[in-house]
Amino acid sequence: MTIEKTWFSCCPTTARGEARRESLLDAARALFLEKGYAGTSMDDVVKLTGGSKASVYKYFGNKEGLFAAMFADRCQAFLATLAIPDAVSENLEETLLLFAERVLEASLAAERIAMIRALAAEADRFPQLAEMAYRTGPQHGLGLMADFLKRHHDAGVIDCRQPDIAAIQFLEMVKGHPQWRALLGLPPFPPHLDRADYIREAVRTFLQAYRP
């Protein structure tokens, strides 16, 4: 994923500057998740990391830029965890089973759940941040998944004429219900649902719908 540079003024060019920037991002993540966007100030971030506010404004421009950079950074980590394949698979079912497990694991991570809750709490008051969050997170991930599915359609492995829609269908089948339960503070799977069976059935249903 490419972070949109317009959200902050510059990037460090030295190892020391990069370390300072990473420290600020770590502090921002902890504070935004704990106190929310509105409840976090630049002074809070500096108090946690030390130094002065000058470097915060230098690297991120303002609080909005800091939040945007922090969220983009976490999206990069999230998408790296998913490791969406970039080639046509010799065994698509096996590839999707492994990928679905990574999607579920990453989507149910405590930090991910906390991040979604924080964004949802602030979305009405800060719609521009909500739009940025969707663009750098879900929209980007769905685009990568759609590209993966299109490659398999072009290769004749599946009949997937609208990969953008299919990407949403697959990811929501895998993570939708368990993530909703996690957001509500419930165990992702109720006692009568087995996680492995849930994943296998999602992949089986998806491939059945898009078989050539």
In this predicted structure, the answer to whether residue 197 has a pLDDT above a threshold of 70 is yes
Which stretches does DSSP call E strand in the chain?
Answer: none
Same fold, 1-82 and 83-212: no
Q: Under a CB-based contact definition with an 8 Å cutoff, are residues 170 and 101 in contact?
A: no
**Domain extents for the chain?**
1-82, 83-212
Residue 5: the pLDDT is 39
DSSP state of 136: I
Residue 180 has phi, psi (to 5 degrees) of -60, -45
Structure tokens at 7: 């959200």
On the question of pLDDT at 149 being above 90, the answer is: yes
Task: Report pLDDT for 10.
Answer: 55
pTM of the model: 0.80
CATH code of the region 83-212:
1.10.357.10
- Residue 3: pLDDT band (50, 70, 90) is very low
Superfamily holding 1-82: Homeodomain-like (1.10.10.60)
pLDDT of residue 13: 61
pLDDT at 174: 96
Cα distance between residue 141 and residue 145, in whole Å: 6
Q: Say if CB 158 and CB 207 are below 8 A apart.
A: yes
The confidence band for 205, taking pLDDT boundaries of 50, 70 and 90, is: very high
Least confident among 21-30, 164-173, 201-210: 21-30
pLDDT-wise least confident of 37-46, 99-108, 185-194, 200-209: 37-46
Residue 120, sorted as left (phi over 0), alpha (psi -120 to 50) or beta, turns out to be alpha
CA angle 80, 145, 111 (to 5 degrees): 40
Residue 30 CA to residue 44 CA, distance in Å, equals 11
Rounded to whole angstroms, how far apart are CA atoms 63 and 26? 14
Q: Which of 138-142, 163-167, 171-175 shows the lowest mean pLDDT across its residues?
A: 138-142
110-127 residue pLDDT tens:
988 988 888 888 888 888
**How many other C-beta atoms can be found within 10 angstroms of the C-beta atom of residue 137?**
22
Mean pLDDT of 36-44: 87
CA distance 124 to 68: 16
Q: What is the mean pLDDT of the chain?
A: 87
Cα gap 101→91, rounded to integer Å:
16
